Amino acid sequence: MADHTVLIGPADPAASYLDVDAVLGAARTTGADAIHPGYGFLAENPRLAAACAAAGIVFVGPTEAQLAAAGDKLAAREHAVAAGLPVLPGGEVRDLRSARRLAGEIGWPVLVKAAGGGGGRGMKKIGEPAELADAIELARAEAGAAFADRRVYLERFLSAGRHIEVQIAGDGERVIHFGERDCSIQRRYQKLVEEAPAPGLGASTRAALHAAAVALGERLRYRGLGTVEFLVAGADFYFLELNARIQVEHPVTEAVYGVDLVAEQLAIAEGRPPRPAPDTTGPDATGPAGHAIECRINAEDWTRGFRPSPGMVTAAVFPAGDGIRVDTHVQAGTRIPPHYDSLLAKLIVHAADRTAALALLRGALARCEIHGVTTNLPMFAELTRRPEFAAGCVDTAWFPAFLERRDSERIRERAGEGAGRG
Amino acid sequence: MNLTDDDVRDILRLLDSLPYAELRLETDSFRLWLRRTGDGEWTRATQVLSPPAEVGPAAAAEPAAAPAPPAAADTADRAGPAREGLLEVRAPLLGTFYRAPRPGAEPFVEVGSAVVEDTVVGIIETMKLMNSVPAGVRGTVVEICVANVEFAERDAVLMLVVPE
């Protein structure tokens, strides 16, 4: 918990957490010499980095130019290609005629993506040539409204793959990696479960992913922490995007590498190099130890289309013990406001191997109790009992299918109850 | 003083060697309640009591601290009395009410618009999710009670509709 707090504005984030002047004002008021931007709001905003530089305050993160390169998905894609990373076939949409030709080369269906988007925002699947013109026009309009950038690009649509990302750290010269995380359990591109290392990944694919991420970092002369996201399909993988911040799921990496990534960030910001690259192959291997899994506990009702559930937390009991970490701002009496996203807590378990971690996770979930708001805890209890999840290696199509099956079961149960009463 | 996760782990190690199943620790700044469950594993509930010191207001800060949340029961009444013979469109959940699909666009409906049950009359943004608001009633909009980008409590009356 904080030693001091500064009120930076009203609840509406546009007038507070997203207001560069308000954030800088708070730093000046307190005499802070650095700003850690966290993982939301302005964390990847080049304007905040520039404003910090102008004010003589250290921005704990990449340079303004690196943030801009990562935020522009087309520029990031070009850097990835230049660094030798595989990308899905695609390219920028300049006019309809060339877009038609490009889509034909890529093969249908194609995805249209906004250059200013990312994280699943500003993305649409186009099924056939007849839809192309309208879909591009709509995508341009939406991208212009949402990101003030009408540029869009096409990419091959892959119906499923595993979402695997590599943690990198750089000091502006040298770039190292802290292994990978598997984040394939997602709903609408929102991650719900993350683990490290990625289960069942071949040694050569793993090494190639790590090398690719480091190559991109080196090309950018990256400074700070970053995550290079990939879509992995069999032995093939494709660059998705670079996230130029610390991520929500960083604790699973911290657990298996025994590292404090926020401390690394601060060290880099102070001009010190990150610690030596973890060696996962040599005889003195200092690579990942054991297996870690994180669940994002959100205030949402998974039985009603994941409807958000703001309100007052009346009780909050979490598991405790060896191998269990809970990051949370929630305690009895906490008011969960409707203005921000629904993340209440992160439950992270760490054990000698995946089987032990899963057993620890099931027990830890059973001991979580949050009252007053609806949470997705019951979803995790069911999810972690599924044999496919226990086996590992599920792709991004598995979780939506699990939800669909669960929904139809629920409808049948309700119909059964109705018939029973009638 | 603050209790770290490592502190709690140290306390649990001590407790594991003792026959106790519960520990309540209370200081001026926090409450910690550790309890052993049936299977011998531990749970914790923590309560930080003293809020961190608030440093003088920054640039555009509003001085008022967040007041205690009002009881949810009477929100519907506070949204204004229903008028005789009119149907109400209420907020399905609390959040920010938007009258148009995006900034600068035409509002979904205006006074005088005809609506049926599934006509979308607005959007409520809650926890960064946009939820469309169906009219739920059939008729003509005669009054819009919550302005664009204004906050609406759950069940607040958003619009009044004269039935067909």
Domain, as residue range, for A17: 13-62
Give the largest CA-CA distance in chain B.
Answer: 74
B31-50 confidence digits (pLDDT tens): 999 999 888 899 999 988 87
Question: For residues A76 and A232, what is the distance between their CA atoms, to the nearest angstrom?
Answer: 18
Residue with tokens 């920010």: B96
Of A339, A121, A347, A335, which is closest to residue A248 (Cα–Cα)?
A: A347
Residue with tokens 């990101």: A147
- Of the candidates B37, B47, B57, which has its C-beta nearest A7's C-beta? B57
Question: What is the per-residue pLDDT for B75?
Answer: 42
Q: Look at residue A290 and give its three-state secondary structure.
A: coil
Among A115-124, A149-158, A216-225, B130-139, where is mean pLDDT lowest? A115-124
CA distance B105 to chain A (A): 10
Chain A residue nearest residue B95, CA to CA: A338
Q: How confident is the model at residue A46 (pLDDT cuts 50, 70, 90)?
A: very high
A271-291 confidence digits (pLDDT tens): 887 666 555 555 455 678 999
C-alpha separations of A13 from A34, A339, A342, B96 in Å: 21, 7, 14, 12
Mean pLDDT calculated for residue range B108-124: 94
Of A378, A385, A361, A321, which is closest to residue B40 (Cα–Cα)?
A: A321
Q: Decide if A6 and B62 are in contact by the 8 Å CB cutoff.
A: no
CA angle, A192 as apex, A240 and A80 as ends, to 5°? 10
> Environment class of residue A23 by beta-carbon count within 10 Å: exposed (0-12), middle (13-18) or buried (19+)?
buried
Question: For residues A199 and A212, what is the distance between their CA atoms, to the nearest angstrom?
Answer: 19
- Of the candidates B43, B52, B61, which has its C-beta nearest A1's C-beta? B52
CA distance B85 to chain A (A): 32
Q: Which two tokens stand for residue A325?
A: 């970490």
Residue A229 has pLDDT above 80, yes or no: yes
Question: What is the per-residue pLDDT for B69?
Answer: 43
CA distance B14 to chain A (A): 12
Question: For residues A170 and A277, what is the distance between their CA atoms, to the nearest angstrom?
Answer: 10
The answer on A169 and A25 residing in a single domain is no
Chain B residue nearest residue A41, CA to CA: B128
In a domain, A282, yes or no: yes
Mean pLDDT calculated for residue range A393-410: 93
Interface of B with A (CB under 8 A): 2, 5, 8-9, 12, 34-35, 37, 39, 41-48, 51-63, 66, 69, 93-96, 102-104, 125-129, 131
- Of the candidates A2, A320, A331, which has its C-beta nearest B34's C-beta? A320
Q: Decide if A29 and B43 are in contact by the 8 Å CB cutoff.
A: no
Residue with tokens 């595993």: A162
Among A37-46, A273-282, B73-82, where is mean pLDDT lowest? B73-82
Q: Decide if B60 and A12 are in contact by the 8 Å CB cutoff.
A: no
Contacts B55 to A, Cβ<8 Å:
4-6, 26, 29-30
The answer on A305 and A270 residing in a single domain is yes
Question: What is the per-residue pLDDT for A415?
Answer: 85
In a domain, A180, yes or no: yes
Question: For residues A379 and A361, what is the distance between their CA atoms, to the nearest angstrom?
Answer: 13
Residue with tokens 């039985």: A303
Residue B90 has pLDDT above 70, yes or no: yes
- Of the candidates B47, B60, B126, which has its C-beta nearest A331's C-beta? B47
Question: What is the per-residue pLDDT for A118?
Answer: 78
* Domain boundary, last residue among A113, A134, A156: A156
In a domain, A82, yes or no: no
Q: Decide if A5 and B52 are in contact by the 8 Å CB cutoff.
A: yes
Of A215, A209, A249, which is closest to residue A229 (Cα–Cα)?
A: A209
The answer on A246 and A128 residing in a single domain is no
Q: Decide if A4 and B60 are in contact by the 8 Å CB cutoff.
A: no
Q: Decide if A363 and B39 are in contact by the 8 Å CB cutoff.
A: yes
Bridge partners of A193, per DSSP, are A185, A295
Q: Decide if A333 and B12 are in contact by the 8 Å CB cutoff.
A: no
Contacts A331 to B, Cβ<8 Å:
45-48
Q: How confident is the model at residue A103 (pLDDT cuts 50, 70, 90)?
A: very high
CA distance A149 to chain B (A): 15
CA distance B73 to chain A (A): 13
Q: DSSP letter for A403, please.
A: H
Chain A residue nearest residue B132, CA to CA: A307
The answer to whether A398 and A388 are in contact (CB under 8 A) is yes
In a domain, A206, yes or no: yes
Mean pLDDT calculated for residue range A328-349: 94
Q: Look at residue B132 and give its three-state secondary structure.
A: strand
The answer on A171 and A295 residing in a single domain is yes
CATH number for the domain harbouring residue A127: 3.30.1490.20
Mean pLDDT calculated for residue range A16-35: 93
The answer on A132 and A37 residing in a single domain is no
Of A42, A45, A64, A40, which is closest to residue A53 (Cα–Cα)?
A: A64
* Chain centroid offset of residue A404 CA: 23
Mean pLDDT calculated for residue range A283-303: 87
In a domain, A96, yes or no: yes
Query: What is the average pLDDT score of chain A?
Result: 92
The answer on A152 and A166 residing in a single domain is no
CA angle, B129 as apex, A338 and A139 as ends, to 5°? 150
Contacts B130 to A, Cβ<8 Å:
none
Q: Decide if B96 and A5 are in contact by the 8 Å CB cutoff.
A: no
Domain architecture of chain B: domains with CATH? 5-48 (no CATH), 78-163 (2.40.50.100)
Question: What is the per-residue pLDDT for A278?
Answer: 56
CA distance A235 to chain B (A): 36
Within 8 A by CB and 6+ apart from A213, the residues are: A166, A168, A177, A228
The DSSP H or E segment spanning A390 is helix A387-391
Instruction: Pinpoint the alpha helices (H) of B65-147.
Output: 75-78
CA angle, A366 as apex, A363 and A371 as ends, to 5°? 150
The answer on A225 and A370 residing in a single domain is yes
Residue A247 has pLDDT above 70, yes or no: yes
Residue A366 has pLDDT above 50, yes or no: yes
CB pairs under 8 A between A and B: 132
Of B125, B129, B69, which is closest to residue B96 (Cα–Cα)?
A: B125
Bridge partners of A164, per DSSP, are A182, A230
The answer on A319 and A264 residing in a single domain is yes
Question: For residues A51 and A122, what is the distance between their CA atoms, to the nearest angstrom?
Answer: 27
Is the ipTM, as predicted for this complex, more than 0.90?
A: no
Contacts B53 to A, Cβ<8 Å:
3-5
The answer on A256 and A134 residing in a single domain is no
Q: What are phi and psi of B31, to 5 degrees?
A: -120, 135
Q: Decide if B58 and A340 are in contact by the 8 Å CB cutoff.
A: no
Residue A101 annotated as catalytic: no
The answer on A55 and A198 residing in a single domain is no
In a domain, A193, yes or no: yes
From A151, A245, A325, A354, active-site residue: A245
The answer on A194 and A132 residing in a single domain is no
Among B61-65, B124-128, B139-143, where is mean pLDDT lowest? B61-65
A343-365 confidence digits (pLDDT tens): 999 999 999 999 999 999 999 99
Question: For residues A123 and A401, what is the distance between their CA atoms, to the nearest angstrom?
Answer: 20
Question: What is the per-residue pLDDT for B102?
Answer: 82
Q: Decide if B54 and A300 are in contact by the 8 Å CB cutoff.
A: no
CATH number for the domain harbouring residue A362: 3.30.470.20
Question: What is the per-residue pLDDT for B60?
Answer: 43
Domain count within chain A: 3
The answer to whether A216 and A242 are in contact (CB under 8 A) is yes
Mean pLDDT calculated for residue range A317-344: 94
Mean pLDDT calculated for residue range A221-234: 96
In a domain, A339, yes or no: yes
Question: What is the per-residue pLDDT for A20?
Answer: 95
The answer on A330 and A195 residing in a single domain is yes
Q: How confident is the model at residue B91 (pLDDT cuts 50, 70, 90)?
A: very high
Mean pLDDT calculated for residue range A219-236: 96
CATH number for the domain harbouring residue A56: 3.40.50.20
The answer to whether A109 and A90 are in contact (CB under 8 A) is no
Contacts B40 to A, Cβ<8 Å:
none
Mean pLDDT calculated for residue range B84-92: 90
* Chain centroid offset of residue A21 CA: 27
Q: What are phi and psi of A302, to 5 degrees?
A: -75, -15
Question: What is the per-residue pLDDT for A12?
Answer: 86
Q: Decide if B53 and A3 are in contact by the 8 Å CB cutoff.
A: yes
In a domain, A328, yes or no: yes
